[in-house]
Amino acid sequence: MNPVAALQNKLSPHLGCNKARCEFISQFILTLIKLRTCSLYRLRVAFIRDASPDSTYKRIQRFFREFIFDYDAIAKLIASLAPLDKSWVLCLDRTNWKLGQTEINHLILAVACQGVAIPLFWVNLDKAGCSESTERIALLERFLTVFPEQSVAYLTADREFIGTTWLQWLCQKKIAFRIRIKSNAQVTAPGSVPISVKLHFRALKCGCWDVLPKRCNIWGLSLYVAGSFTTKGYCFVVSQDNPDTIIPDYHQRWQIETLFSCLKTRGFDMEACRLSIPERTDKLTALLALAFCWSYCEGLKRRSEAPVRIARTRFGAKWPAESVFHQGLEYLQELLLNPVKRKREFYKTLQFFVS
Q: Do 95 and 195 belong together in one domain?
A: yes
Per-residue pLDDT at 264 exceeds 70: yes
pLDDT of residue 317: 67
The 10s digit of each residue's pLDDT in 135-157 is 999 999 999 999 999 999 999 99
Q: Count up the domains in the chain and report the number.
A: 2
Residue 326 contacts residue 299 (beta carbons within 8 Å): yes
Flag whether 272 is in a domain: no
Q: Give dist(CA 34, CA 27) in Å, integer.
A: 10
- Confirm if 240 and 171 have CB atoms less than 8 A apart: yes
What totals of helices (H) and strands (E) does the chain contain, helices first? Answer: 13, 13
Q: Which of 40-49, 218-227, 303-312 is predicted with the least confidence, judged by mean pLDDT?
A: 303-312
Per the prediction, the chain carries an average pLDDT of 90
244 and 211 co-located in one domain: yes
In a domain, 278, yes or no: no
Supply the pTM of this predicted model: 0.92
Among 219, 130, 125, 128, which residue's Cα sits nearest to residue 177?
Answer: 219
Q: Can you say how many angstroms the Cα of residue 277 is from the centroid of all Cα atoms in its chain?
A: 20
Do 162 and 254 reside in the same domain of the chain?
Answer: yes
* Confidence at residue 43, expressed as pLDDT on a 0 to 100 scale: 94
Residue range(s) defining the domain that contains residue 216: 73-258
Say if residue 340 is in the same domain as residue 211: no
CATH number at residue 252: 3.90.350.10
Does residue 205 form part of some domain?
yes
Domain boundary among 258, 289, 317: 258
At 166-186, the pLDDT tens digits run 999 999 999 999 999 999 999
- Dist. CA 177–CA 250, nearest whole Å: 9
Do 127 and 148 lie in one domain? The reply is yes
177, β-bridge pairs: 155
**Is 87 in the same domain as 37?**
no
Kindly state whether residue 195 falls inside one of the protein's structural domains. Answer: yes
Residues 164 and 32 in one domain: no
Domain edge (last residue) among 198, 230, 258: 258
In this structure, are 56 and 96 located in the same domain?
Answer: no
Is 115 in the same domain as 49? no
Question: 65-68 contacts: CB < 8 A, separation 24 or more?
Answer: 65/280, 67/17, 67/21, 67/283
Task: Provide the pLDDT confidence category of residue 10 given band limits of 50, 70 and 90.
Answer: confident
Supply the angle between the helices 278-305 and 254-263 in degrees, to the nearest 10: 100
Report pLDDT digits (tens) over 290-345: 999 999 999 999 888 877 776 766 666 666 767 899 999 999 998 888 866 666 77
Q: Do 184 and 315 belong to one domain?
A: no
User: 247 and 309: one domain?
Assistant: no
Identify which has the larger pLDDT, 79 or 337: 79
Residue 355 has pLDDT above 60, yes or no: no
Angle at 106 between CA 137 and CA 112, to 5 degrees: 70
* Of the residues 258, 273, 290, the one at which a domain ends: 258
SS3 of 235, please?
strand
* Same structural domain, 173 and 311: no
pLDDT value at position 354?
A: 65
